[in-house]
């Protein structure tokens, strides 16, 4: 399976990190070893002093596809989930300054939180799904798919032009504004439409 991540898909998040607004989706990958085992705490790695949470809506691919037309993209997923793209922001900044790849800052062990998935039929409109992240009982991130620069179907179609999508692949669709640092003993709770999808303890 592949973990395909989309960067800079929410305008306000682009602004908060002072990034340039892209003309097309930004794609990067995480290895399957990045998946944080279910119900396990997240341990801050020794190589970073600035790990950030980034809550994101997830989609799971359910059929093989390449060069998918946007009008057919909805047939390639049935389930929605929620996750966190943990990022070593200090390391990422150093890599970006040198024009180097981000993988060390994005693909380390435990950097991908993936919730259980639910049927997309539970949602009235996939383009208006709200989701949030609570840190120590305070909401720190709130997002809605209506604010995406590229919608879910657009992302599936775009990614499939470059790499074949396979059954079980997961797409992280981008994070809204509000990202921030985690510290030991923090508790993170991710919700979609007010329903809890994951709880993470930081160590």
Specify the pLDDT at position 11. 74
pTM passes above 0.75: yes
* Helices vs. strands in the chain: H and E counts, helices first: 4, 14
Q: Which of 87, 83, 36, 110 is nearest to 192 (CA)?
A: 83
CATH number for the domain that contains residue 62: 3.90.850.10
Check residue 13 and give its pLDDT: 62
User: What pLDDT score does 140 carry?
Assistant: 97
Q: Distance between CA atoms of 154 and 127, rounded to whole angstroms?
A: 11
Q: According to the model, what pLDDT value does residue 136 have? A: 98
* Phi, psi of 134, deg, nearest 5: -105, 135
Judged by DSSP in three states, 139 sits in strand
pLDDT tens digit sequence for 162-195: 999 999 999 999 999 899 999 999 999 999 999 9
Domain housing 57 = 3-201
Cβ neighbors of 18 (< 8 A, separation 6 or more) are none
Cα four-point dihedral sign 71, 161, 58, 32: positive
- Residue 163 confidence (pLDDT): 98
- Which residue spans within 49-106 are E strands per DSSP? 51-53, 55-61, 77-85, 87-88
Low-confidence ranges of the chain (pLDDT < 50): none
Number of domains in the chain: 1
Q: Write b or e for each residue in 40-79: b if 16 or more Cβ atoms lie within 10 A of its Cβ, otherwise e.
A: eebebeeebebbbbbbbbbbbbeeebeebeeeebeebbbb
């Amino acid at each position: 399976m592949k973990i395909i991540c989309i960067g800079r898909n929410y305008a306000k998040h682009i602004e908060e990190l002072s990034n340039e607004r892209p003309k097309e989706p930004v794609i990067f990958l995480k290895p399957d070893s990045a998946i944080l085992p279910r119900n396990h705490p997240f341990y801050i790695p020794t190589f970073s002093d600035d790990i950030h949470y980034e809550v994101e809506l997830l989609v799971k691919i359910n059929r093989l596809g390449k060069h998918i037309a946007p009008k057919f993209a909805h047939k390639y997923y049935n389930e929605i989930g929620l996750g966190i793209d943990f990022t070593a922001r200090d390391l990422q900044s150093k890599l970006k300054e040198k024009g180097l790849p981000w993988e060390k800052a994005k693909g380390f062990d435990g950097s991908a939180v993936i919730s259980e998935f639910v049927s997309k039929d539970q949602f009235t409109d996939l383009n208006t799904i709200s989701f949030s992240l609570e840190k120590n009982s305070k909401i720190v991130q709130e997002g809605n798919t209506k604010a995406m620069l590229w919608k879910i179907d657009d992302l599936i179609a775009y990614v499939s032009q470059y790499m074949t999508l396979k059954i079980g692949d997961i797409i992280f669709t981008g994070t809204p504004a509000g990202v921030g640092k985690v510290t030991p003993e923090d508790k993170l709770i991710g919700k979609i439409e007010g329903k809890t999808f994951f709880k993470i303890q930081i160590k």
